[in-house]
Amino acid sequence: MKEVKKTSRASEERSKDKRNQPWTPPNSLDAPPAPKGFVQRWIRVESMCFMYSANVSKRLREGWVFLRSDTLLSEIGENEYPKIHEGKYAGLIGVGGLVLARIPEEIARSRSDYFKRISSDQISAVDADLMKEQRPGMPINIDRQSRVTFGGSYGTAIFQGDLVTPVTGGHIERHTAGSGTPVVGVFNGCFYTDPTTSKPTWKNYYPGSIAASDIIAFVIDSPDQVYKIDSDGAFAVADIFKKFHVTNGTGNTVTGTSKVQLDYSASGIQITTVLQAIDISQDVDNSDVGSVNVDVLVRINNHFYRTGTAGLA
């Protein structure tokens, strides 16, 4: 009598679920799931035959441990994850000069908290420097910051400290020097999921053309905010209360900070001129009246949130 093999209902359901999943192209940086209590990331070890020894040493001292293929085999069985076959990193899970590493969750949290404290201390130092310019008759508000989305198709880099304008669709773009378009505030960094590493990413600046759907920009948008900016010309006391445009120099990709300056040659009286000078900095190192690069205290004159500004369709 011929034996008939029956397929279990659970197996049939799994097969059905698998068939119903939409197809997506494979990602060379797909990683196996981390075991409970661990987090994983790819670490750069080499590129074009150049060994990243300093980066590897730093990550290992932080507590990261490279994942071996035999360890993965014992955890999940046979698999198709890429393995390095020769060289210094033979036997590790890796591809394209990147090696997969793990670290216990508690160390990862402690590391994240450390860098959050560093970032918070840096922001506090900047705020404290600005607040030194505060006077009873001219209070400075540093408390208002909004979250704004913008499309990853936008190709222009925006740096921390750049002026930004609102555009249709609920997004922002970098302010164009000399433009009369109302400004919504000053860019203060962004957060998104990196499309290459699939990791949550915070940057002081938006690099441009990021193919991510979850980009969130942080914008200091109070209409009464006072900012400090250096002048590219010999700013004097007589220039206080004048209105000025800004330059649009490319920012620093290492620090992510803007290189925008007050454009001393582009002053005017128009209500659409972007900035209005209200004082000269009292910082002894940057307050030389009549000198190039003197620090000037300004407010946004052509602000999108001021009464009477037309909205966007």
State yes or no: pLDDT of 158 exceeds 80: yes
What was the pLDDT predicted at 66?
A: 95
Per-residue confidence band for 258, with pLDDT thresholds at 50, 70 and 90: very high
Work out the percent of the chain whose per-residue pLDDT is above 70.
83
CA 65 centroid distance within chain: 27
d(CA 21, CA 18): 5
Task: Give which of 99, 91, 101, 81 is closest to 38, Cα–Cα.
Answer: 101
With vertex at residue 203, the alpha carbon angle to CA 202 and CA 205, rounded to the nearest 5 degrees, is: 150
Indicate the range of 62-76, 95-109, 190-204 predicted with least confidence.
190-204
> In the predicted model, what is the mean pLDDT of the chain?
83
Q: Does the pLDDT at position 18 exceed 60? A: no
Most confidently modeled range among 3-12, 15-24, 300-309: 300-309
Average pLDDT over residues 212-216: 86
- 173-190 pLDDT tens trace: 999 998 889 999 999 999
What are the domain boundaries of the chain?
35-131, 144-300
pLDDT band at 310 (very low <50, low <70, confident <90, very high): low
Give me the pLDDT at residue 79, please.
85
Q: Is the pLDDT of residue 195 over 90?
A: no
**Alpha carbon distance 8, 19 (integer Å):** 17
At residue 3, the pLDDT reads: 54
pLDDT number for residue 41:
92
pTM of the model: 0.55
SS (H, E, C) 1-34: CCCCCCCCHHHHHHHHHHHHCCCCCCCCCCCCCC
Q: For residue range 80-116, list pLDDT tens digits in order.
A: 888 999 888 999 999 989 999 999 999 989 988 888 8
Of 14-23, 53-62, 225-234, 272-281, the one with minimum mean pLDDT is 14-23
pLDDT category, 194, cuts 50, 70, 90?
Answer: confident
* pLDDT at residue 152 in the model: 64
Q: Given this model, what pLDDT does residue 275 score? A: 94
Determine the Cα–Cα distance for residues 204 and 218; give it in Å rounded to an integer.
Answer: 10
